Amino acid sequence: MSNQLIDQIHQKYSSEGENPETYLKGLLHAKPINYWDYVEVETLLSLQKPRTNFKDEEIFIMYHQVTELVLKMIVHEIKQMSEEEFNETIWLDKLNRIIRYTDMLITSFDVMKSGMNYDDYNTFRNTLAPASGFQSAQFREIEIYCTRLENLLNIQGKERISKNPSIGDYFEHIYWKDAGLDRKSGKKSLTLRQFEEKYLDRFLRLAEKCEGRTLEETILQNEHSEALKERLKAFDYFYNVKWPMVHLETAQHYLDKKGENKAATGGSEWKKYLHPKFQQRKFFPSLWSAEEIEDWGKDK
């Protein structure tokens, strides 16, 4: 070991008020790291808990676990963009990563569409009610980090909401609530009730933290290149049009392949709810032309 390296080790721990010799002595007894402990392989592979004996249910569980990990990768990048000072070079790198992650979500739906037995899936999925992918909290967190809450209202929500809404008001009229709320009777599905009981307070706190600091607002406040604009639009389109459409096509494969129009496990009107032209979710509306906004999702 070189004297320079020893000096650096001493400087590292001394600057933190620690005794470098304590850490060096600890190295004498530390076990070497290995792949399975570092990645927690055995724990990861033990997280699948099927509710039936159908073999493909385990595929279904693993697919959604992989999806949540990819969403966590997106959150990991977006959180840094939201919390740190704007730097276009860093943003371009982060957006390229995020677009790759989103592309993984889009292409991975082949696992769902072509990787499960049709009859088995349509049997075991009944044991999953009222659970639904609708209840993915990370999906909602990405929305909150990316854009102002007013952009998470569909046309009907914008017509209903008051002129000076609070954060709580926005969440009363947010687009995804339409999947589980009968606005005439005020009755909520169990799927929505459970989701709000678990996560709504967390969403409200995050929205308050992100107010004025979403990715959309940062772009509006800073000069940026055409290259960055193109990357932002690509992410917006991939996440809010292409991915929902692949989801819709997969749902149609299993729920309406034979014209049966089966109900989703969460009870939503899935044909309407999943289509981007009904959701009208856009992260960066100022980057799109009026014509592009009018035609949002219609080409799909």
Per the model's pLDDT, the better-predicted residue between 253 and 230 turns out to be 230
**Weakest-pLDDT range from 36-40, 128-132, 277-281:** 277-281
pLDDT at 239: 96
Beta bridge partners of 182: 187
| Mean per-residue pLDDT, 149-176 | 94
Distance CA 261, CA 95 (A): 37
For the domain spanning 54-148+214-294, the CATH number is 1.20.58.480
Separation of alpha carbons 2 and 264, rounded Å: 64
Whole-model pTM? 0.89
**What's residue 278's pLDDT?**
78
Digit-coded pLDDT (tens) for 243-257: 988 888 887 776 666
Distance CA 157, CA 9 (A): 58
> What b-and-e string marks burial along 200-237, b requiring 16 or more CB atoms within 10 Å of the CB?
eeebbebbeebeeebbbbbbeeeebeeebeebbbbbbb
Six token digits for residue 151: 């952009």
